[in-house]
Amino acid sequence: MDASFPEPSLYTIKAVAILDNDGERIIAKYFDDTFPTSKEQRAFEKNLFNKTHRANAEIIMLEGITCVYRSNVDLFFYVMGSSNENELILASVLNCLYDSVSQMLRKNVEKRALMDNLDGVFLAVDEIVDGGIILEADPNAVVQRVALRTEDVPLTEQTVAQLAEDLPVSMLQVLQSAKEQIKWSLLK
């Protein structure tokens, strides 16, 4: 194989970030050790924001990293890959992220709405990219999976009856006995 072409890899995404209109991080996930510390990551994000917040382009090469980006109201969406990564692949991930967030926020893509639904947005990022590998590029599929996962009621908010559905019979007997003991201790 020709030495000028790098070996193909599934690890195409170096990072995904969403910044506000001041360049402050809202969400950032780095998938390799290009920027190993939080301080280096934030410095890179600040530099990236300074180079892109007034530009009308959709792509920039910065510090040997190819970045595709998109802005809306007071948010900036970034997807980053290596210098030799295909920009169309990065753009498809960016479009999937943006469209997924847009659907989740009912086309109200702004900082306040995003902050109110931050858990869902984190799940969407995890559904799209895992460890730098692109898992999904269809925003409808991402939104559907995130909706399924956010419908799960947190353990702290479940009733004993809901919890009991998932327990073996012996545990149900223990719970029933505890319930009876509590009831009788309160009635005394």
Within this chain, do residues 110 and 145 fall inside the same structural domain, yes or no?
yes
Residues 6+ apart with CB under 8 A from 67: 48, 52, 59, 60, 61, 78, 79, 80, 90
For residue range 9-46, what is the model confidence (pLDDT) as tens digits?
A: 788 999 999 999 999 999 999 999 889 999 999 999 99
How much of the chain exceeds pLDDT 90, in percent? Answer: 47
Within this chain, do residues 105 and 172 fall inside the same structural domain, yes or no?
no
The CATH number of whichever domain residue 91 belongs to comes to 3.30.450.60
Within this chain, do residues 130 and 59 fall inside the same structural domain, yes or no?
yes
Backbone angles phi, psi at 79, to 5 degrees: -130, 130
Within this chain, do residues 139 and 170 fall inside the same structural domain, yes or no?
no
Confidence of residue 163 (pLDDT cuts 50, 70, 90): low
Alpha helices in the chain (DSSP H): 38-52, 87-104, 111-116, 118-128, 139-150, 160-164, 169-187
Residue at token pair 């900036």: 76
What is the model's pLDDT at position 57? 80
pTM as predicted: 0.75
Contact 131, 31 (CB under 8 A): yes
Within this chain, do residues 20 and 43 fall inside the same structural domain, yes or no?
yes
Within this chain, do residues 28 and 54 fall inside the same structural domain, yes or no?
yes
* Torsion sign across C-alpha atoms 151, 155, 158, 162: positive
Alpha carbon distance, N-terminus to C-terminus of the chain: 83
Within this chain, do residues 112 and 41 fall inside the same structural domain, yes or no?
yes
Domain count, the chain: 2
Within this chain, do residues 65 and 141 fall inside the same structural domain, yes or no?
yes
Which domain range does residue 53 map to? 15-150
